[in-house]
Structures are given as structure tokens and as C-alpha cells.
Amino acid sequence: MAEHSEFPKITEEELTRLRQFEGKPLQVKEPFNRNASIDTIAHFSLGIGDTNPLFSDEDYAKGTRRGSVVAPPTFLFSCFGRGAPQGLAGVHAMWSGASFKMAGPLRDGTGIRGTVTPSGLTPKETRFAGRAILQEFTYDFTTPEGQAIGQATEWLMRTERDAAVSKGKYTYLESASYTPAEIDRIFADYDLEEVRGAEPRYWEEVEEGQELPHVVKGPLRVTDNIAFKIGWGFRPFAFAHKIAIDYYKKHPYAFVVNEAGIPDVPERVHWDPDFARRVGVPGAYDFGPQRVSWLCQVVTNWMGDDGFIKDFWGEVRRFNLNGDTTWLKGLVSGKRKEGGEALVELELWGYDQREERTIRGGATVVLPSRE
């Protein structure tokens, strides 16, 4: 199939087709993970560079209050799979963010089943690409026996590739480079990260305005993106050989011909800088769920083994190019007791070496109380 001189556009015909699916739950199919296990949880956490032993050390975890390895809420990214029509054929999807509402800690040995409901299709006018469509999907996860695990909502901004290139909003971004001294300073920041671990963080110790210890990620490499894919899974397009060709035959507009004339996946914006420029970005960049998972690590590091993330959300605000370094931070924005739970509200954000904020978010955490 030869490449068109222009990429497909957002059309009313396609929007009408998608609207018929709104509000209708569909079974999640072909998720990368259908079970939370010591292996799947460890692979995910190590894929984001999180060495918290609660997520990857079975012997350590057995001695905690949880009694087993548990997963951070963003582990559910690896369970999204397929099911909802991802439509707007040939129109690029810029992943924008996600939220999680958890029923309880997600432990080793838990089977995970889900449905996905197309829950929003909102027209937007953007500086990046002009006309755009914000798609929302809501996932409901339970155990095979029907016990609630949690609900996740994700947002994708559908943008026209040609329009994004012509507007050139991010042409000012230059690829990062570092002196040996700058690399040493960044690596030293890694040494300052704190994992609370087995020492409980009691609700009574927390004060409004208190800052959370930072997490640093980067300078971002293609290697980091590959490591994340290993833990996150093949979603949405990373299929091999016959599986990829069969998918292409069913969904030809999901692929874009590369410089060698071979249909290839749009997901290559994360490792192919030339293709990234064809969608309006100066170079290859990170995965949105990867960055949101980094932001969640700020919370899990801070709250300790006895804490529980009840609600969490993250929203990516700007591209994080390969080569960029991201510092992720947070502060306590409030605390209260409600329904027998000692709750802390957190404000979260991240910025790069340009001092530009690239992500923001928040969380509600249940902490142990001395009472």
C-alpha cells in the first residue's frame, strides 16, 4: 500500500461511527497481563526504574503488613489490552493522561479481568494541531470472582499529523546534551531519592505544605523506553511478524509506511526521531503511561509499605524528548479523616532541565494513624 501525500483527517463520518459505542462496556481482550504475580509486578516496576522492594522482592514483601508483593496502581496499564474501538483511522493519538480509583491493594496472586467503556468524545481546539478530539475510555477491573479491583480512565488527544507539522508549536525544543559535570549532578540526584519502606509514615506526622522527596528520571534514552515496553507490554501496536502483518491487513491506516517502503507502526515515534518529526514533535519522546508511572513512584516512595493509594491521576502537559531529564516532586495539599480512614491529599508535578513543567497530577493516600 503506497503512502498518501497527506495523512487522513478527522471526519464527521468517523466521529459518528465512534459515538455509537459510547457508554457501552466491552470485554478487555488480549491484555498483556491477566494476573498480578511476583513476575508481572516486578517486570513492570523495574521497567520504570523503581527498585522499591515491596514491588519486586518476594522475601522482603512477606515480612511487611501486606504479606506479599503488591503492585502500584499504574500496573493496571499493563492490563488495558484491547476491546474499545480506537478509531479515527490514520489520525494520530497523543496519549494525555489517566486516573485510578483503587478498591484495595493489588496483591501477588490476583487474577484481573476487565471491561472498557468508551466514555467521552470531546472536540477541542489546540495550539498544537488546531482541531482535535479528546477520547476517553473507562476501564473497570475485577477479580475472576467479581471482586472490585479498581477503575482506570485514560485520555487520548486525536490530532491531525499534517496540521501539527504545519503549526510547529514545539520547534523551539532542542535536543538535550550534557557535560560530564552535568551528568554527575543528575546522577547524584538519584542518590538523594528516598524510599520510606518498612518505617510507617503516620497520618499525625504529616503537615500541610510538607514537600515529598523527589524522583529523577533521565536523561531519557531509547533504552529506557524499551525497558518500559518490556514491563508494560505490546499495547498498542508492538506486534511481531505474522501477528503484525495480520493486524495491518485488518487496520491498514494504523500503520505508516517508513522510508524503506515498509508499513510500520505509529508507535515508533518513541524511538524513531524522523517519524516523530512527521507528527509535529522535534524528536522521539517517552510513553505517556511511562511518565505517569514515574509520577506515581513519588507517592509510593513517600508513603511507605503501610500506605495505600486510594486515588491517583496524572496528566502529561508537554513532550518529554529522548535526552530530557525529568524531576518529579510533590507536596501535601491537605489531610482529613473520613469514613474511618486517615487521608492525605497530594499535589504532584514534574519538570525538565528547561524548567518547564511536563506533567501534573494528584493523589489521595490512606496512611496508618496512631489512633
CATH (domain of 257): 3.10.129.10
Is the peptide bond between 236 and the residue preceding it cis, with omega within 30 degrees of 0? yes
Tell me whether residue 351 is in a domain: yes
Tell me whether residue 165 is in a domain: yes
pTM of the full predicted structure?
A: 0.92
Is the peptide bond between 282 and the residue preceding it cis, with omega within 30 degrees of 0? no
All three cell numbers of 153, joined, read 480512565
Helix (H, G, I), strand (E, B) or coil at 97: strand
Q: How far apart are the C-alpha atoms of 123 and 121, rounded to whole Å?
A: 7
Tell me whether residue 88 is in a domain: yes
Of the CA atoms within 13 Å of residue 49, those in its CB half-sphere come to: 19
What is the gyration radius of the CA atoms in the chain, in angstroms? 21
166 secondary structure, DSSP code: H
Give per-residue pLDDT as tens, 155-197. 998 887 777 677 777 777 888 999 999 999 999 999 999 999 9
Tell me whether residue 7 is in a domain: no
Chain-centre distance for alpha carbon 300: 15
Q: How far apart are the C-alpha atoms of 203 and 336, rounded to whole Å?
A: 9
Q: How far apart are the C-alpha atoms of 333 and 348, rounded to whole Å?
A: 10
Paired sense of beta strands 92-102 and 148-159, if any: antiparallel
Tell me whether residue 259 is in a domain: yes
Tell me what pLDDT residue 227 has.
Answer: 95
Residue 16, phi then psi, degrees to nearest 5: -60, -40
- The candidate with the shortest Cα–Cα distance to 346, out of 290, 297, 305, is 297
Tell me whether residue 252 is in a domain: yes
Tell me what pLDDT residue 328 has.
Answer: 98
pLDDT mean by block of 10 residues, the chain; 371 residues: 58 86 91 97 98 97 96 97 70 89 97 95 82 92 98 90 72 89 98 96 98 98 95 86 90 85 89 87 92 98 98 95 97 97 98 97 98 86
Give per-residue pLDDT as tens, 93-106. 789 999 999 999 99
Q: Which domain holds residue 330?
A: 12-367
**How many domains in the chain?**
1
Tell me whether residue 6 is in a domain: no
Q: How far apart are the C-alpha atoms of 148 and 239, rounded to whole Å?
A: 31
Tell me what pLDDT residue 83 has.
Answer: 64
Tell me whether residue 125 is in a domain: yes
Residue 62, phi then psi, degrees to nearest 5: -60, -25
